[in-house]
Amino acid sequence: MTPVVRHASLAALAALAVLFAGRGAHAQAAAPAALSVPGDYTLVWADEFNEPGAPDAAKWSYDTERNKAGWHNHELQYYSQGRAENAEVRDGKLVITARKETLSSAADWGRQRYTSARLLTRGKAEWTYGFFEIRAKLACGKGTWPAIWMLGSQGGWPAGGELDILEHIGHQPGRVFSTVHTAAGSGASGTGAATQLADVCGSFHDYQMLWTRQSIRFGVDGVAHFEYTNPGTGPARWPFDAPQFLILNIAIGGDLGGRVDDAALPARMEVDHVRVYQAGYPQERPQARP
């Protein structure tokens, strides 16, 4: 979720505003023409969200570790755990809902006035390379910040790398963007690109990423809008030969989310499916931890 700012200066935050206004690294990427599952790839992991109720605990856990201290980027949400009001499967979809409410009775409450959920596959499924497709309809409204992204499970941030498949800021309706973060370029110095869609809130789209040893390509509905190429200079710019785990969440407010329109809440991100395809050789099999 671009960026994971842990120690941001005022200058860095100002740079973020420039970056996501359409300049900086996001304006420099060339756009490849197409994006699809390679013919020699097979489906190795998926969640079709066919079982109503709580998200499948064998595949997903909840990230709540910074509720008390406060989340990165000055975000305003409290991430709940096992709470249907914020994350449940219904009608064949995972529904993540951000709400204006205060859970002051929770032991880890950090004085947040909003709730949401952040689901992740960390410790359950992690992958090195592959084609990733997440079909989703996004949360919208000023102050919302839905994201579909991945983090390296080794080396910490940003050394372990971050792959933002999809982010959307409610203050910029329809503008979806993808970003790569490494030790050599993270936060405001991340590298990525954006594309404009007319109906991200009203319709489902396939948000996709093809990650190989040579490059990482991002796109929507089979059309790529950004490619990051392995420069061959080592892990500072290419930490992407190691496992990453998947994250789905809606953040509220913060340095990129901006001022919140409470009337826009509750806001929902609906996920129809998550699918991961990989080539048949061992290096691209999913790496799952016990």
Active site residues: 162, 167
Return the bridge partners of 251, or none.
145
φ, ψ at 277 (rounded to 5°): -115, 145
Write b or e for each residue in 146-185: b if 16 or more Cβ atoms lie within 10 A of its Cβ, otherwise e: bbbbbbbbeeebbebbbbbbbbbbbbbbebbbbbbbbbbb
CB neighbours (10 Å) of residue 111?
Answer: 10
In the chain, the DSSP E strands lie at: 41-47, 61-62, 77-79, 87-90, 93-100, 114-116, 118-120, 130-137, 144-152, 162-168, 175-181, 191-196, 205-211, 215-220, 223-229, 244-252, 267-279
Establish whether the linkage from the previous residue to 3 is cis, with ω within 30° of 0. Answer: yes
Alpha-carbon distance 213 to 253, whole Å? 35
Question: d(Cα 129, Cα 216) in Å, to the nearest integer?
Answer: 9
Q: What is the spatial distance between Cα 51 and Cα 94, in angstroms, rounded to a whole number?
A: 10
Taking the CA atoms of 20, 147, 262 and 5 in sequence, report the sign of the dihedral they define.
negative
Q: What is the DSSP letter of 188?
A: G
